[in-house]
Amino acid sequence: MSVDAPSTPDATIGTLPDPRLEDRIAPEPVAHGAAVQCVLNDVGREVSIYSAVHQLWYEVVGDRDEEPGVVAELDSADVPWLDAPTPGREWVVKLSSSRWKAGTGTGDDYSAYYKYDLTLRERDEDGDLYKTGRACSLRILPQFADLNYQDGSDLTLQYGEGSLVRCSTTWADDAEEVEGRMFDVLEAALDVDRGRLLADRDQDSRRIQKAEAHHRFDIGWKRQVVETLDRTRELIAFGGMSEIDAHQKRQREGYLEALVDADRWHLLGFDRTSYDIELKCYQAAGWADIPREDPAHHPKLEASFAGTSGDHALPHVDEWKDVMSTLRSIVSAHLEWSGVGRDQLVADDYQPGPAVPEYQYRHPSGRREQLRERFEAVSTEVYREALKANTQAVYDILTVIATEAGASYDTLEERTGLARSTIRYHVSRLAEIGVCEKISNPVLVVFPSPAALESSKEILRRIYPDDQIEDMMERAEARRERREERDDPSSVGDGDQEESDDDDQDDEGDRGRDRSRWSYFEDLPLEAHQLATALESEYLDGDEVRVRTDRRDWLG
């Protein structure tokens, strides 16, 4: 029998065609959450900012059971970024504390320092505090040379001694606005001079902690947007292979509809970055019980800066426009791919929806070509794997996955008759080359997309057109019988040989018998943590590791 595999002359597994870039005009995604940090090198001052807020806590709060304490009142007439409070309420700043990761001393003499939070709230006439959509919170941390962790290791001070301040807020258009709010809150709570804050600020320490851009859109388009994110995840994972951190989560009981978190967005044509970007479609908790007329009933598509990996530093505040430009282009491109236009945008209390201004961005095109090439490459690998010489083991595994639209290890073991270790080996290998994926816990093995599933079904039917369920059942039973004979010493000559259960041996009777070899752990070039990782990652099966128990009662 001869079956020709499909050819992909311009691509192989692990690559994507280069997308074209076109200038597009679209509604500008709105900035949402933002956070920046800076270090104030004020240790030489009579009182540092950290020491000042520490003393303020003792004066206003004094007991952690009495937290939080209100340390300042803000007049919206004097603070440009604050709207008038809810009638009957006023803007205040509350102070709270919590144990921090560093302190002084070691062992029984260790004493942890505390981190302090200054948070914007509304307060009513009864003194009750309320959280609103207009958020602003400062976290103040010590940066002193004598600080260490509880195990005695030193705390690294990346930007020198003083006070580290992180400001998180909403609805700020640029980093300078976030920093301005930081200083407004410090001035109000500590009665400190802004000129001093600016003089003490370490310029290199001014880093972006968080940045977000989003659109709220009509719920009728949610399915299309989620499907677009699914395709993006497949493309990024395919093009970046093991180098990227890409994943998708589905939480039907919660608010998160779809999520892609990766550092290889340039594979789709967006700007190359040294940081991760998260793109998610989500809704408010309990949205189904909220009337359709309420904006909270409708989902958002939001792109956000998701931190850095490795030794990369956080982006400097001077890079704010570049970061936001990338985030906005990702949101706009995905809404266009989903067919969501200006008329489908939804306004709320903080942004005008369809009335947002236009902007120009670089739109990656050629997405259909990328998707087609991705699926063609998967199809090619399915052919190659199913036609492995001298065995139908991989073909049977793929057939079960296709027939069941996803199969557990138990199902694969029952339907193929292969050993669990053999199945895990092949599944891990197939996952590495992008033919299938392992999801959920316990593991469910699936094809990477509905399109790949359907094409794989057709390919498998064409490879062995006369193969029936009864034929696979007979192969499974024969494999089980061979393993039973192998495990019976009386059936294998000298009693220490066993049949290899690998892909090129399993279906060929007694072809290629091999000895089972065992070694002491101390003789292997392997560390304990590497062995644990191999077991957890299923590179080793449980029946491939032995532990002597007669000398250790606690192991019995």
Distance CA 127, CA 69 (A): 11
Residues 335, 301 contacting (CB under 8 angstroms): yes
pLDDT (average), residues 114-131: 95
Q: Give the range among 8-22, 34-48, 170-184, 477-491 with minimum mean pLDDT.
A: 8-22
Q: Determine the pLDDT at residue 209.
A: 93
Q: In the chain, pLDDT over 70 holds for what percent of residues? A: 83
Least confident of 71-80, 473-482, 529-538: 529-538
Residue with tokens 């049949």: 499
In angstroms, the CA 80 to CA 78 distance is 6
Kindly report the three-state secondary structure assignment for every residue of 399-448: HHHHHHCCEEHHHHHHHHCCCHHHHHHHHHHHHHCCCCEEECCCCEEECC
Q: Is 433 within 8 Å of 412 (Cβ atoms)?
A: no
Q: What three-state secondary structure class fits 239?
A: helix
Q: What pLDDT is attached to residue 143? A: 96
How many angstroms separate the CA atoms of 508 and 499, rounded?
Answer: 10
- CA dist 373 and 369 (Å) reads 6
For the chain, give the percent of residues with pLDDT over 90.
Answer: 46
Question: Which residues sit opposite 154 in a β-bridge?
Answer: 148
CA–CA dist 9, 15 (Å, integer): 12
Q: Mean pLDDT highest for which of 146-155, 361-370, 547-556?
A: 146-155
Model confidence pLDDT, tens digit, residues 517-537: 677 777 777 777 777 777 776
pLDDT of residue 98: 94
Residue 209 C-beta-side C-alpha neighbours within 13 Å: 19
Listed residue (500, 524, 311, 526) closest to 421, CA to CA: 500
> Contact 479/417 with Cβ under 8 angstroms?
yes
- Alpha-carbon distance of 127 to 522, in angstroms, equals 66
Is 80 exceeded by the pLDDT of residue 374?
no
Residues with Cβ < 8 Å from 12, sequence gap 6 or more?
Answer: 377
Residue 550, phi then psi, degrees to nearest 5: -75, -15
Query: Which residues are CB-neighbours of 309 under 8 A, at least 6 positions away?
Result: 245, 263, 275, 276
Question: Tens digits of per-residue pLDDT, 180-197?
Answer: 999 999 999 998 999 999
Structure tokens at 134: 């207009």
Is the pLDDT at 12 greater than 60, yes or no? no
Please write the tens of the pLDDT for every residue from 206-245. 999 999 999 999 999 999 998 888 888 777 765 543 333 3
Strand partners, 36: 167, 208
Quick one: tokens of 370? 């990328």
How far apart are the C-alpha atoms of 309 and 311, rounded to whole Å? 6
Q: Tokens standing for 449?
A: 């997309």
pLDDT of 356 reads: 95
pLDDT for position 43 = 92
Residue whose tokens read 């792109």: 303
Per-residue pLDDT, 249? 35
Four-residue CA torsion sign, 315, 316, 320, 321: negative
Q: Which two tokens stand for residue 274?
A: 């040294």
Q: Is the model more confident about 205 or about 378?
A: 205
User: Is the pLDDT confidence value at 55 over 50?
Assistant: yes
Alpha-carbon distance values, 236 to 240, 366, 437 (Å): 6, 14, 14
Record the pTM. 0.66
Q: Which two tokens stand for residue 55?
A: 């003393």
pLDDT in tens, 416-466: 999 888 898 888 888 887 788 887 777 888 887 666 777 788 888 888 888
CA 519 to chain CA centroid, Å, is 39
Phi, psi dihedral angles at 413 (to 5 degrees): -65, -45
pLDDT exceeds 70 at position 501: no
Residue 240 has a pLDDT of 45
Cα of 23 vs its chain's centroid, Å:
30
The 10 Å Cβ neighbour count of residue 533 is 12
- Which amino acid, one-letter code, is at 408? S
Tally: H helices and E strands in the chain: 12, 18
pLDDT at 410 over 80: yes
Within 125-223, strands assigned E span 129-130, 136-143, 162-170, 207-216
How far apart CA 90 and CA 84 sit, in angstroms, is 8
Q: Which structure tokens are listed for 508? A: 């060929």
Distance CA 480, CA 503 (A): 15
Q: pLDDT-derived band of residue 490, with 50, 70 and 90 as boundaries? A: low
CA neighbours closer than 13 Å in the CB half-sphere of residue 280 = 19
Burial of 130 (0-12, 13-18, 19+ CB in 10 A): exposed
